[in-house]
Amino acid sequence: MKQFVYTVLDQSEGAFTLLSMLVIIAILFTTLPLLAYLISSTTYTTSYDEISTRQFFNFLSDELMLATDYSVSKNKLVLDDLDGNKISFEKYNNVILRKVDGEGHDIYLRDVQTIGFIDLLYGIQVEVTSLEGETYEKAIIHYE
């Protein structure tokens, strides 16, 4: 007596077929180049220059608030602090330096093309142009 073994396939069970795999591969191969193009065409912008310039303006404002007197030339600012020190801010190459009594230096801002100081009745106006051509202006009040 021979016995037959067979399996019963229920119609509600789904499985991947060769045709469905070929359709999935075709969809992937057509969308991946488009996705790569979209990713490469996006631009990445940074606001590093703006943030660092605003921080420089805040530091300069704090220094000017503590100063007893100040003098302004076209591209140099000299402050007299409470201890009698002369603090100067000036451009050297593409950075803005802070010097105390002409000695040492602290770099306060990088990638600077030009800096200008204008004496106002109530304080100073600072204009900074970055190497990328962006111009930033700030009027800083000096309280006496």
According to the model, what pLDDT value does residue 2 have? 65
Q: Where are the domains of the chain?
A: 48-141
Of 143 and 98, which is predicted with more confidence? 98
* pLDDT bracket for residue 92 (50, 70, 90): very high
Closest CA to 49 of 138, 139, 135: 135
> Which residues are paired to 124 by β-bridges?
119, 140
Residues 46-84 pLDDT 10s: 888 899 999 999 999 999 998 999 999 888 999 999 899
Kindly tell me if the per-residue pLDDT of 113 is higher than 90: yes
Of 144 and 89, which is predicted with more confidence? 89
Kindly tell me if the per-residue pLDDT of 124 is higher than 80: yes
pTM of the model: 0.69
Measured CA to CA, the distance from residue 81 to residue 87 in angstroms comes to 7
* pLDDT bracket for residue 9 (50, 70, 90): low
Q: Integer distance in angstroms from the first to the last C-alpha of the chain? A: 116
Mean pLDDT, residues 12-27: 80
